[in-house]
A and B are shown apart, each in its own frame.
Chain A
Amino acid sequence: MSSKPFVRVEDLHVAFGGKQILNGLNMEVHTGEIFVIIGPSGVGKSVLLKNLIGLLKPSSGRIFLGDAEVSSLTETALNLLRENVGMVFQGSALLNSLSVLDNVALPLRERHALAEDDILRRCMDKLALVGLQGSEHLLPAQLSGGMKKRVSIARVLAIEPRLILYDEPTVGLDPILAEDVDGLILRLKHDVGVTSLVVTHDLDSAFALGDRIAMLHAGRIHFIGTPDEFRRSDNPVVRRFTQRVHR
């Protein structure tokens, strides 16, 4: 795992309708690591992820992905940058009119110059990787929540990104499925070396996945450390969160 930051956020401020969501957030994610951001619901975790790939614009501050400053790019330049970044959305965000295979193939067909045979081969490989071979022709409405989540992961894997953002990847899943998804994220790190940034309020997932864990509270990062350091931390914000979750 490289120590050079792949993601760097400097003094990020984000506000909606007069309400301050992120208030001077600073953080770095190193190449090849799984960086977990934990915090209660509604604290701005999803907003942070969307700012990282330019889906939302900050009020002020700077965001770097590699050498590119995301916060200053046009939509056209962002589209080029997004070819190396994938996001797994909280609700999976599959297109309901497309089959599983067409959903996974969508970014390749629209943005990558690959022959259709190569696209199909890659999509079938990724569906097999997430354990969904045989479900190519199903529609999202015919899938369970866990299956939808795995299709959305396969869709991101199909573009073979260098960075994957996960927005609450285990929310709504039973403990066994949640463990499967966590295992998949870990396998991707070990087998492919992809950098992952996971936002979650699931402490068990955070401890299972994270090389480092950051605590987001009141618009800022209050703690960054390894899972062990997180467990042993005297930081009052961290202790309040862990005690509340594990009561």
Chain B
Amino acid sequence: MLTAVGRFTLGMCAQTGGILKLSGESILLLARLRRNPKRLLDQIAFVGADTVPITIVLSFFVGMVLALQSGYLLARYGIEGKVGALVGLSIVKELGPVITAIILAARAGASMATSLGTMVVTEEVDALRSFGINPIEFLAVPRVLACLISLPFLVVLADAVGMCGGAVISKSYIGLSYQTYWDSVFSNVDLKEILNGVVKGAVFGLLIGAISCRAGLASTGGAEGVGLATTRAVVASLIAILIFDYFITRFLIYFD
């Protein structure tokens, strides 16, 4: 039992160290991308632009559910006019960054782990190394930076769309006017709240990129190994998002 716990702990420390190392390398190697910015732009298009449709759909529904659940509850106490504030603050501070990060991990993170893992088992990574090309710089850095850059923008989009979803339900089911809803939103959600969510988005993006790339590049054992790496990437990303969410929230509250 003790051996198993020890082995697990050492494994977790090694994984965390590896992820932090890859994150640091990505930021340090950022300048080299100016030789071929197309690689970064292609990844931003895949990670960011291609994630926009699903982000819009899901965050709209998140906003609707939030307004539905909170609206009826607040109406019992006669303060349904505060729905806008509750939906706005919940989305901007928590649900926007977290749900968007989960979407990114499931879509882009899984895809990155799979494609890099496949490149390992087909010896493409070895081929890069045989030509003196650093696979971290060539493959991982554009992907990690694409996640770091894209997720804050996706968070802002999710925030806006989520609040719109809340507005639709507030009007149609709770009977609140759009004016009342948006007045409540704007009088309670300020730029600082939005920026806090954006900061979370940047941290989550860096984590998802680093975790997914590391899982993919560490693949072994053929197709089955690639599948395991993909699962590992998504699960580890989700765990990291929720753990870091707590600590970032504590940090931001401390400086409030």
Query: Could you say which residues of chain B place their CB within 8 Å of the CB of A90?
Result: 123
| B interface residues with partner A (beta carbon < 8 Å) | 36, 119, 122-124, 126-127, 129-134, 138
Query: Could you say which residues of chain B place their CB within 8 Å of the CB of A86?
Result: 130-131
Query: Can you list 28 contacts pairing A with B, beta carbon distance less than 8 Å?
Result: A53-B130, A79-B132, A80-B132, A82-B129, A82-B132, A83-B132, A85-B130, A86-B131, A87-B127, A87-B130, A89-B123, A89-B126, A89-B127, A91-B123, A94-B124, A95-B119, A95-B124, A95-B127, A106-B131, A106-B133, A107-B131, A107-B132, A107-B133, A109-B36, A110-B132, A111-B133, A152-B127, A159-B131
Given A82-B131, A95-B127, 7 extra CB contacts under 8 A: A50-B126, A79-B133, A85-B130, A86-B130, A86-B131, A93-B124, A95-B124
Query: Could you say which residues of chain B place their CB within 8 Å of the CB of A111?
Result: 131-133
A55 at the interface (CB under 8 A from B): yes
Residue of A nearest to B42 (CB): A97
Query: Could you say which residues of chain B place their CB within 8 Å of the CB of A79?
Result: 132-134
Query: Could you say which residues of chain A place their CB within 8 Å of the CB of B130?
Result: 53, 55, 82, 85-87, 89
Identify which of B122, B124, B133 contacts A110 (C-beta below 8 A): B133
Q: Are B127 and A110 in contact (CB under 8 A)?
A: no
Query: Could you say which residues of chain A place their CB within 8 Å of the CB of B138?
Result: 110
Residue of B nearest to A49 (CB): B130
Query: Could you say which residues of chain A place their CB within 8 Å of the CB of B119?
Result: 95
In the bound complex, CA of A89 to CA of B130 (Å)? 10
Q: Are B124 and A55 in contact (CB under 8 A)?
A: no
In the bound complex, CA of A5 to CA of B43 (Å)? 45
Q: Are B126 and A93 in contact (CB under 8 A)?
A: yes
Query: Could you say which residues of chain B place their CB within 8 Å of the CB of A96?
Result: 124
Residue of A nearest to B118 (CB): A96
Query: Could you say which residues of chain B place their CB within 8 Å of the CB of A152?
Result: 127
Could you say which of B122, B126, B132 has the most chain A C-beta atoms within 10 Å of its C-beta?
Answer: B132
In the bound complex, CA of A53 to CA of B129 (Å)? 9
Residue of A nearest to B127 (CB): A93
CB within 8 Å of B: which A65-99 residues: 75, 78-80, 82-83, 85-87, 89-91, 93-96
In the bound complex, CA of A82 to CA of B126 (Å)? 12
Residue of B nearest to A108 (CB): B131
In the bound complex, CA of A96 to CA of B114 (Å)? 14
Query: Could you say which residues of chain A place their CB within 8 Å of the CB of B132?
Result: 78-80, 82-83, 107, 110-111
In the bound complex, CA of A231 to CA of B232 (Å)? 52
Query: Could you say which residues of chain B place their CB within 8 Å of the CB of A82?
Result: 129-132
Shortest Cβ distance from residue B46 to the other chain A in the assembled complex, whole angstroms: 11
Q: Mark A39-55, 1 if CB is under 8 A from B, else 0.
A: 00000000000100101
Shortest Cβ distance from residue A84 to the other chain B in the assembled complex, whole angstroms: 10
Query: Could you say which residues of chain A place their CB within 8 Å of the CB of B134?
Result: 75, 79
In the bound complex, CA of A69 to CA of B127 (Å)? 21
In the bound complex, CA of A106 to CA of B135 (Å)? 13
Shortest Cβ distance from residue A41 to the other chain B in the assembled complex, whole angstroms: 16
